A and B are shown apart, each in its own frame.
Chain A
Amino acid sequence: MNILVAEDEIIMLKTIELRLKKDGHNVITCQDGREAMRKFEEFLPDLIITDMMMPFLSGLEIISEVKKRGGKKIPIIVLSAMGQENVVLEAFQLGADDYMTKPFSPNELSVRVKRYTPNEASV
């Protein structure tokens, strides 16, 4: 599966990348919102994992942009340090499919990603 990961902290980006690659996914990484949108258009990933607070475009903006640009069916997992109710609600209202609060466990992320993997989901 092609997964787009948007996260501004390179260390977290690499950690997530490593974990997902271990599961056999193809990972596209980007460090800011603008790059994320560019790579989204370029690669049309099967899944998006995004941080909330990033330079140029926030996670919320990415969700609404992706949904606007015809990515309605692409699942989005939000990975954010903001666990406040209103932020979470906002993310889901905009069309996020899952929300994980930092600090998070990469293993848990891997399991959650599995739910969106086509052959696993059909099992």
Chain B
Amino acid sequence: MPGLQFSVLLKIDSYTLMRVMLIFIIILGLLFICTLVFFIYKKRINAKIKSWEDQVSLVVSTAVFNLDEEFNEIISKNANKLKNHRFRQYLINEIILARKSLSGSASENIKMLYENLGLNNDSFKKLHNKKWHIKAKGVQELAIMEQTKYVKQIFRLTNNKSELVRNESQCALVSFYGFSGLRFLGVTTYTLSEWQQIQLLNKLHDVKPRNFDIIKKWLQSPNESVVNFSLRLATFYNRFDVYPDVMDCLSNTSLQVKLNTLNYLKRIPREDTAGKLVDDYSYENKSYKLAIINALNDIGNEEQIAFLLKQLHHSDNDIKLAAAKSLSHLHPLGIEFLKTHLFAHEDPWKTIFLQIENEHMI
């Protein structure tokens, strides 16, 4: 350290320094021991889990196929291990993996195995743990194993102050009840993160909606993330019946809400939708403008050609490109129209048009 060279000039007591040094050495020693202990501990745990691997996969796979004899044999062989907390957790983890990958009777058998071994109690206990990540893990386990009897406790957690607990509980309700599980949307005061919305949509993948009308209420929620999520839901389920309610969201001032509305309208348009979008074009945001022009590509008609021709001369090249693309779709001449355009031989239009022609060829 540069300081030392001048230490001669500083009246530093070398005795104090010796003590500092000693403290450093003690901490060093302790840290070194801790590192070693952890290293060995981790090695041991891994070795142990490795040694359990075969037993656990036997337990699970024999349970999957109802091979009672083999199953009973292996259970009695591992009776001791089943009292081990770590073994049980490992078993739960593997059972969950299996449950996620299996369907039909196999999946039901896994659930039965989980209940018969009393693992649901292990998971349930986690809900009362003070550590939020363990709480969340408990909720997740109960959700995947469809332990609907704990729904009351889980529902209360949907507005928990820990985001992870909240998210897992919301996902759990959706796993239990599908679309109806979403009723927490009516009461949640927290923002649903984008990540959580995606998780929920993933969970709803093959779920049919019931009582979809409730979404009309959510669309007017003061919680903006709920509005966004509802718009995504309406799009995801292709719900034309909520069209008027969605249309109202177009007058929302939030960009995210507007973009999600646009996604819906693109998918489920009515005759006058394209015109309404053009009316909303004045909203000052480039990505929104681009989204409108791109939407016209799908849902526009000849009435918007004049508008698009004007956008072809917008100062922003991205908008030019998008407008040209939509025009090549909507114009009665189709792609040939581009060649007839006045600026077809001038840049940037020349390259823009070339790209579109190229894309048409593919």
Q: Are chains A and B touching directly in their complex (CB below 8 angstroms)? A: yes
The total number of A-B Cβ pairs within 8 Å is: 62
Q: Which residues of A contact B57 (CB under 8 A)?
A: 10-11, 13-15
Interface flag for B311 (CB, 8 Å)? no
A19 interface residue (CB < 8 Å to B): yes
Residue B25 at the A interface, CB < 8 A? Answer: no
| Residue pair B100, A102 in contact (C-beta under 8 Å) | yes
Judge if A22 is at the interface, Cβ distance under 8 Å: yes
Instruction: Give the segment of A60-68, A87-95, A103-111 that binds chain B.
Output: A103-111
Most buried by B among A17, A22, A106, A108: A106
Question: When the two chains form their complex, are residues A104 and B102 in contact, meaning their CB atoms are under 8 A apart?
Answer: yes
Kindly state the separation between the CA atoms of A32 and B229 in the bound complex, as whole angstroms.
38
1/0 contact trace for A1-28 toward B, CB 8 Å?
Answer: 0000000011111110111001000000
In the complex, the answer to whether A11 meets B98 with C-beta atoms within 8 Å is yes
Q: Tell whether, in the assembled complex, residue B61 and residue A11 are in contact, meaning their CB atoms are under 8 Å apart.
A: yes
Flag if B58 contacts A14 (CB, 8 Å).
yes
Q: How many chain B residues touch A (Cβ–Cβ < 8 Å)?
A: 20
Partner of A107, one of B56, B61, B106: B106
Pair A9/B61 contact, Cβ less than 8 Å: no
Tell me whether B53 is interfacial, beta carbon within 8 Å. Answer: yes
**Cα separation A15 to B95 with both chains bound (whole Å):** 12
| Chain B residues with CB below 8 A from A19, complex form | 65
Is B103 a contact of A15 with CB atoms below 8 Å?
Answer: no
A11 touches B60 (CB 8 A): yes
Check B98–A12 contact: CB distance below 8 A: yes
Of the candidates B98, B101, B107, the one having the most CB atoms from chain A within 10 angstroms of its own CB is: B101
Asked if B65 and A22 sit within 8 Å, CB to CB, the answer is: yes
Q: How many A residues have CB within 8 A of the partner chain?
A: 19
Which of B53, B56, B65, B94 is the one whose CB lies under 8 Å from A18?
A: B65
- Pairwise interchain contact B58-A9, C-beta atoms closer than 8 A: no
Pick the residue among A9, A10, A104 that contacts B103 (CB under 8 A): A104
Residues of A within 8 A of B78 (CB): none
Once the chains bind, are A105 and B105 in contact (CB under 8 Å)? yes
Determine which residue in A9, A12, A108 has the highest number of CB atoms from chain B within 10 A of its CB, and name it: A12
Pick the contact of B97: A12, A18, A104, A108 (CB < 8 A): A12
Find out whether the CB atom of B107 lies under 8 angstroms from the CB atom of A103. yes
Candidates B60, B102, B103, B107; contact of A14 at CB < 8 Å: B60
Q: Are A15 and B105 in contact (CB-based, < 8 A)?
A: no
Residues from chain B with a CB closer than 8 A to the CB of A10 are 53, 57, 94
Check if B104 is an interface residue, CB within 8 A of chain A. yes
Chain B: minimal CB distance from A21 (Å): 10
**B165 near A: Cβ within 8 Å?**
no
Minimum CB–CB distance from B199 to chain A (whole Å) comes to 15
Cross-chain contact A18 with B101 (CB below 8 angstroms): no
- Residues A11 and B94 in contact, CB atoms below 8 Å apart: yes
Residues of B contacting A17 in the complex (Cβ-Cβ under 8 angstroms): 61
A105 with B104: CB separation less than 8 A: yes
Docked pose: A18 CA to B61 CA in angstroms: 7
Whether B64 pairs with A15 at a CB distance below 8 angstroms is yes
Chain A residues whose CB sits within 8 angstroms of the CB of B58 once the complex forms: 14
Tell me the B56-78 residues at the A interface (CB within 8 Å): 56-58, 60-62, 64-65
| Bound-complex Cα distance A19 to B106 (A) | 11
Chain B residues closer than 8 Å to A102, beta-carbon distance: 100-103
Q: Is the CB of B103 within 8 A of A11?
A: no
In the complex, given contacts A11-B61, A106-B65, what are 17 additional A-B residue pairs having Cβ atoms less than 8 angstroms apart? A10-B94, A11-B57, A11-B94, A14-B57, A14-B58, A15-B60, A15-B61, A15-B64, A15-B102, A18-B62, A102-B100, A103-B101, A103-B107, A104-B103, A105-B105, A105-B106, A106-B106
- Provide a sorted-by-A list of 16 A–B residue pairs whose CB atoms are within 8 angstroms: A11-B60, A11-B61, A12-B97, A13-B57, A14-B57, A14-B58, A14-B60, A15-B60, A15-B102, A81-B101, A103-B103, A103-B107, A105-B103, A105-B106, A106-B65, A107-B104
* Chain B residues near A (Cβ < 8 Å): 53, 56-58, 60-62, 64-65, 94, 97-98, 100-107
- Top 9 A-B pairs, shortest CB-CB distance: A14-B57, A105-B104, A103-B103, A15-B61, A18-B61, A102-B101, A11-B94, A14-B61, A11-B98
